[in-house]
Amino acid sequence: PKKKPSPITIANDQLLDGLLVSAFDEASCLTTNCKYLVWTASNGLGNRMITLAAAFLYAILTDRVLLVKFGIDMFALFCEPFPDSSWLLPRNFPYWKHHKHIETYENMLMNSKKNRSKGLLPQFLILNLQHTHDGHNNFFHCDQSQALLQKVPVLILSSDQYFVPSLFMIPSFTQELSKMFPKKDTVFHHLGRYLFHPSNQAWELISRFYEEHLSKENEKIGLQIRVYNTHRASHETIINETLACTLQHKLLPDIGVPKTAAESHLKKQASKAVLVASLYSEYGEKLRTMYKANTTVTGEVINVYQPSHEGRQKSNNDTHNIKAWTEIYLLSLCDALITSPKSTFGYVAHSLGGLKPWILERAYGETIPNPPCRRSKSMEPCFHYPPKYDCMANNTVDFTSLFHHMKHCEDVSNGLRLV
């Protein structure tokens, strides 16, 4: 009679007698039951990183595999975060065949009654959570919507918002979220540090800059100066505002008298580094000149560095994005940060660094706002356009009155921040 194969023989047989590596098993094949969340890019790098972190959390909560649709300007930024697999949307993913005819979540909501009664739900759905200025309600934070979304195998997410506070509003996620984040203001800090590891190319730039300029400094102060509209306030006003903030909170010393030639060459004094991130060279130049020409009242030497000044935001440009990522990462290594209002670039830097920044007030004309900046209550990014609709009560609500761990943002009065 034929001998029964031993377990070892079976294992050997499955692995084609050693041709396949032992980690290869059924579970490593895609199974048709998997559900996916496909992240797509919107806006600048800061916006992309906050939505990617939010998407990751949403994928975890809904048992979906997170895939990312990266363009040429994103490929060189990050390492693959998940061992033994790739988060890149594969070329053979069915999405590519259907992408021109995919239904939207909005349409599905409108037709939901009709469709559900016929049991018709799409295989793919575009979930648009982009910001809107018209107070438009997308009901994403309602349990009923989640019950519907849960039935769709592939969600294509399009968003530029940190919609994590919405996830905390959804009753069916509450328990898991409270287990995952006993401290609510650490959500991005943990998710971001899990997901975003600089690629070798970015790490080379980060570590070289850090070693050359920052590593030996007693203290590192980061200034992130994002100017959306150069006509609203001059560079001069914003520099003076930033300086007023640094002085008021004792982040940098005031200048004293002009330096003598001998003082300019003194080396062995306590020193602080100022890392300036801005599209404009004026900021680094003005501060560098000021601290080079004058002594400081504390006797400290202030060294000012600005890694780049790109002039403007450039889309679809990989080198530009690597510079942005390098600066975000370097800012996150500082001891204290001053950031610009409503800037997601600044949010990523302070959240990754586990820092509560001083956020500049919006300046108009020549007037320096008083106070020039306010300390953020939290390390979390701000959700700029959160919902205002109470799904249970069917009326408008201020969610800070329902959740003690949500507060309005210092820089965006209607926004919400987890604290």
- Chain positions contacting ligand GDP, by CB under 6 A: 43-47, 226, 277-279, 308, 310, 313, 320, 323-324, 327, 343-345
Nearest to ligand GDP of 125, 360 (CB atom): 360
**Contact 122/144 with Cβ under 8 angstroms?**
no
Taking CB atoms within 8 Å and a gap of at least 24, the contacts of 259-266 are 259/292, 259/293, 259/294, 259/295, 263/295, 264/292, 266/301
Q: Choose between 246 and 343: whose C-beta lies nearer to ligand GDP.
A: 343
- CB nearer to ligand GDP: give 47 or 146: 47
> Nearest distance from residue 384's CB to ligand GDP, in Å?
9
Compute how many other C-beta atoms are within 10 angstroms of the C-beta atom of residue 416. 27
Cα–Cα distance between 58 and 110 in angstroms, integer? 23
Residue 129 or 169 having the CB closest to ligand GDP? 129
Measured from each CB, the residue nearest to ligand GDP is 44
Shortest CB 48 distance to ligand GDP, Å: 7
Q: Which one, 138 or 278, has the nearer CB to ligand GDP? A: 278
Please report how close the Cβ of residue 78 comes to ligand GDP at its closest, in angstroms.
14
Percentages (nearest 5) of helix, strand, coil residues in the chain: 35, 20, 45
Rg (CA), the chain: 25
CA distance 418 to 187: 8
Closest approach, Cβ 331 to ligand GDP, in A, equals 9
User: What are φ and ψ of residue 290, in 5° steps?
Assistant: -60, -45
Query: How many Å apart are CA 240 and CA 372, to the nearest integer?
Result: 9
Shortest CB 311 distance to ligand GDP, Å = 10
Tokens of 187: 């959500």
Task: Give whole-number Cα distances, 107 to 96, 102, 126, 155, 361, in Å.
Answer: 21, 11, 10, 14, 39
Residue closer to ligand GDP by CB (options 73, 105) is 73
| Residue placing its CB nearer to ligand GDP in the complex, 156 or 348 | 348
Q: How far is the CB of 277 from ligand GDP (least distance, A)?
A: 4
Least distance to ligand GDP, CB of residue 327, Å: 5
Burial class (CB in 10 A: 0-12, 13-18, 19+), 233: buried
